[in-house]
């Protein structure tokens, strides 16, 4: 059935990842057997395995309050649980951003809650996640649906605090009520952030859900806009069919949704929820469908989208239909095209990204090994041809071959000496690159900027300090990019020399680039500009907003620098590995050839035994080559995809 499409595609995706993990393990065994001591390769394989295990498909659901976000999550992902997994009853609105996933490492069901008071800390949410002391952890009893539902109600809790406390937390907006009166007490969420680990099959297969409250939460937590939403593979933005696009919906869309999806427009979905409010028993199905279509077109025009980009749905009816196994109601709910889009567009995009990263790295490693082993096979074939031609030849011919082999060996060793010199130059250039990407130096810049911001008396001054910080970060990245380009040219020259002078396979070295980081840095800057101009930023106490924004922004930029530094270090360590292996193998083959010729010159009886030895060696190398090619086929294999099904029309009729 169509309603199972996303679940089936997730299962196929999970099987593909398992096959990729098995290919990594099999290649690791090959490296251990035939290339022992390849420490850097083993480290990269370990890191790829860890990254594969941590891989998630993150879907963020974003909307203003009471648009039905939690109900949609229940309907699309957790309907087979037979009830609402997350609280979405009337009056039970999720008050804090909530992440749902499965914690493979802990292998436990729990809800972890971050107190609202941590907003006063100079730490980002990502930094707080690394410190369990800040969090309150409650177990989830998966054997009791009632107990689990009761525990999950924590995400809806609020409390009354003094106006002064609310201002310190940055959660009070002047005249937010519209009455003009200043309240003595203010209602705030009990929790700032929630993380739920739950052993649902989809979550165990790598799905992660981010449920975000409305405009106020996104505005007061810039990390959601700057990091969490951009990193999600899909954002489902919800509107309500009975209200259309409100002013707060539009603010949320313009300042927090469109920006983060510029790089991945396929991952942005708009759902017009609660179409069941337009179902009217006094109207015929044609008029009902026209009402839904009119609201869809009106919403599309306001958001600047094509009408086909908006999915009219009823999350509540979809959940009810799945629980009751009511096919007709399910089709009327309109959720099927939305699920099909997730399965057919969003999931394949996630696969593409994983192929470019983990599978791409693996493919390059295995391909390098194939090139090296194929070169070994070629040299063995050449030696066999040479030895087979020596039958009946006199000693003078063998002596000539030995002399020629020694001359080739001497020339080769001179090139190896030059290689060592080039390697020293390369290490010096790489060190300059790493110095440019020094996290310690960046932390010093960060500390100085924080000090200057604290000493600034005006919001304008604080913003100028932020601009100076960004300018310095840009200079760091641009200088590092120039150094990376110089290093790339040197590496290409080294590889080219051995290819042209000694017939090494034309392996393309893995190149290091900071283009992606430069793009991300520029995007962060523009997102920051939009954030500072947002209406929530204008209404909230300025020094608090700028302070929290800076914490999230600086943390994100620091993470870019740190990752670039780590990638540069890993690249420096293994970029020459394929060539080093080739040099070592070629040297051994030359020595073996000389030794064989020497023994044959001393005793002709050695000739046949050496031919037999090389034939056995050829068979072994061919087996290696077959193994590597089979591993490569597994890495390059696509995810099995179910045949497309006919999608129901977007406009729905009443039941």
> Where are the strands (E) in 68-175, listed by range?
98-101, 110-115, 136-139, 158-162
Q: Which residues does the chain have with pLDDT short of 70?
A: 1-4, 37-38, 88-92, 172-181, 215-219, 259-265, 391-395, 457-459, 527-528, 530-547, 549, 602-605, 640-655
70 in a structural domain = yes
Give the domain-ending residue among 304, 333, 362. Answer: 333
Segment 228-281, tens digit of pLDDT: 888 888 899 999 998 889 998 888 888 778 865 665 667 888 999 999 988 877
pLDDT of residue 35: 81
Q: 288 with 436, same domain?
A: no
Measured CA to CA, the distance from residue 596 to residue 610 in angstroms comes to: 7
Q: 174 with 257, same domain?
A: yes
432 in a structural domain = yes
Positive or negative torsion for Cα 585, 591, 592, 594: positive
pLDDT of residue 616: 92
592 in a structural domain = yes
Give the domain-ending residue among 311, 333, 355. Answer: 333
* CB neighbourhood size of 144 (10 A): 11
pLDDT of residue 602: 64
Positive or negative torsion for Cα 621, 622, 624, 629: positive
pLDDT of residue 112: 96
pLDDT of residue 543: 63
C-beta separation of 384 from 615 below 8 A: yes
Give the DSSP H/E element, type plus range, for residue 150. helix 145-152
Task: Report how many domains make up the chain.
Answer: 2
Please give the residue range of the domain that contains residue 319. Answer: 56-333
Q: 74 with 206, same domain?
A: yes
Measured CA to CA, the distance from residue 379 to residue 107 in angstroms comes to: 51
Q: 460 with 328, same domain?
A: no
257 in a structural domain = yes
pLDDT of residue 517: 86
Q: 396 with 318, same domain?
A: no
Give the DSSP H/E element, type plus range, for residue 187. strand 185-189
362 in a structural domain = no
Residue 357 has what DSSP assignment? I
pLDDT of residue 345: 86
* pTM of the predicted model as reported, rounded to 2 decimal places: 0.76
17 in a structural domain = no
94 in a structural domain = yes
pLDDT of residue 384: 86
Measured CA to CA, the distance from residue 524 to residue 227 in angstroms comes to: 9
Give the domain-ending residue among 333, 356, 372. Answer: 333
Q: 394 with 324, same domain?
A: no
* CB neighbourhood size of 531 (10 A): 22
Q: 320 with 466, same domain?
A: no
CATH of the domain at 132: 3.40.50.300
The encoded tokens of residue 367 equal: 């391909």
pLDDT of residue 29: 93
Which residues does residue 159 pair with via DSSP β-bridges, in sequence order? 188
417 in a structural domain = yes
pLDDT of residue 626: 95
Q: 279 with 179, same domain?
A: yes
Measured CA to CA, the distance from residue 297 to residue 309 in angstroms comes to: 10
**Is residue 334 left, alpha or beta, with left meaning phi > 0 and alpha meaning psi from -120 to 50?**
left
Q: 172 with 312, same domain?
A: yes
């Amino acid at each position: 059935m169509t309603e199972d499409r996303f679940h089936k595609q997730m299962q196929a995706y999970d099987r593909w990842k398992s096959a990729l993990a098995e290919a990594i393990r099999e290649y690791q065994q090959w490296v251990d057997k035939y290339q022992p001591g390849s420490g850097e390769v083993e480290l990269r394989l370990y890191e790829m395995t860890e990254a594969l295990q941590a891989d998630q498909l993150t879907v963020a659901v974003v909307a203003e309050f009471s648009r039905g976000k939690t109900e949609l999550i229940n309907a699309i992902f957790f309907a087979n649980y037979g009830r609402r997994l997350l609280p979405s009853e009337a009056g039970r609105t999720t008050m804090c951003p909530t992440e749902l996933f499965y914690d493979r490492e802990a292998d436990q069901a729990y809800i972890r809650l971050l107190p609202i008071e941590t907003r006063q800390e100079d730490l980002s949410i990502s930094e707080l996640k690394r410190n369990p002391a800040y969090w309150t952890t409650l177990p989830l009893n998966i054997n009791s649906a009632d107990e689990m539902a009761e525990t999950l109600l924590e995400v809806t809790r609020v409390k009354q605090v003094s106006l002064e406390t609310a201002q310190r937390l940055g959660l009070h907006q002047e005249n937010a009520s519209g009455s003009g009166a200043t309240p003595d007490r203010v209602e705030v969420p009990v929790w700032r952030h929630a993380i739920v680990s739950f052993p649902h099959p989809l979550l165990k297969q790598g799905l992660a859900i981010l449920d975000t409250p409305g405009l106020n939460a996104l505005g007061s937590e810039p990390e959601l806009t700057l990091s969490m939403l951009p990193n999600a593979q899909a954002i489902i933005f919800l509107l309500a069919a009975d209200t259309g696009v409100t002013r707060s919906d539009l603010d949320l869309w313009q300042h927090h949704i469109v920006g983060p999806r510029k790089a991945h427009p396929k991952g942005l979905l708009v759902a017009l929820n609660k179409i069941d409010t337009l179902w009217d028993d006094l109207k015929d199905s044609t008029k009902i469908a026209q009402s839904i279509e009119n609201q869809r077109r009106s919403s599309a025009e306001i958001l600047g989208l094509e009408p086909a980009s908006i999915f009219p749905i009823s999350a509540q009816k979809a959940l009810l239909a799945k629980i009751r196994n009511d096919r007709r109601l399910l089709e009327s709910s309109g959720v099927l095209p939305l699920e099909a889009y997730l399965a057919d567009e969003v999931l394949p995009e996630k696969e593409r990204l994983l192929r470019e990263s983990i599978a791409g790295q693996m493919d390059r490693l295995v391909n390098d090994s194939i090139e090296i082993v194929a070169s070994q096979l070629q040299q063995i074939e050449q030696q066999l041809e040479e030895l087979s031609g020596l039958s009946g030849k006199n000693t003078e011919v063998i002596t000539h071959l030995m002399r020629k082999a020694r001359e080739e060996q001497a020339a080769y060793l001179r090139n190896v000496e030059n290689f060592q010199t080039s390697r020293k130059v390369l290490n010096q250039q790489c060190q300059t690159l790493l110095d440019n990407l020094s996290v310690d130096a960046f932390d010093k810049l960060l500390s100085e900027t924080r000090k200057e911001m604290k000493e600034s008396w005006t919001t304008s001054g604080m913003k100028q300090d932020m601009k100076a910080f960004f300018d310095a970060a840009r200079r760091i990245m641009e200088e590092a990019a120039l150094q990376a380009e110089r290093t790339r040219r040197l590496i290409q020259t080294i590889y080219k020399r051995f290819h042209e002078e000694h017939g090494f396979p034309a392996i393309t070295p893995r190149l290091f680039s900071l283009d992606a980081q430069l793009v991300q840095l520029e995007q962060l800057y523009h997102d920051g500009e939009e954030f500072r101009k947002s209406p929530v930023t204008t209404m909230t106490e300025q020094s608090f907003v700028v302070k929290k924004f800076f914490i999230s922004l600086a943390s994100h930029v620091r993470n870019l620098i740190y990752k670039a530094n780590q990638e540069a270090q890993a690249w420096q360590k293994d970029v020459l590995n394929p060539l080093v292996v080739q040099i070592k193998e070629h040297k051994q083959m030359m020595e073996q050839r000389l030794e064989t010729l020497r023994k044959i010159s001393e005793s002709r009886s050695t000739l046949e035994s050496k031919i037999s030895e090389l034939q056995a060696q050829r068979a072994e190398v061919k087996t290696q080559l077959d193994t590597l090619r089979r591993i490569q086929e597994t890495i390059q294999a696509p995810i099995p995809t179910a045949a497309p099904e006919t999608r129901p029309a977007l406009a729905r009729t009443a039941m």
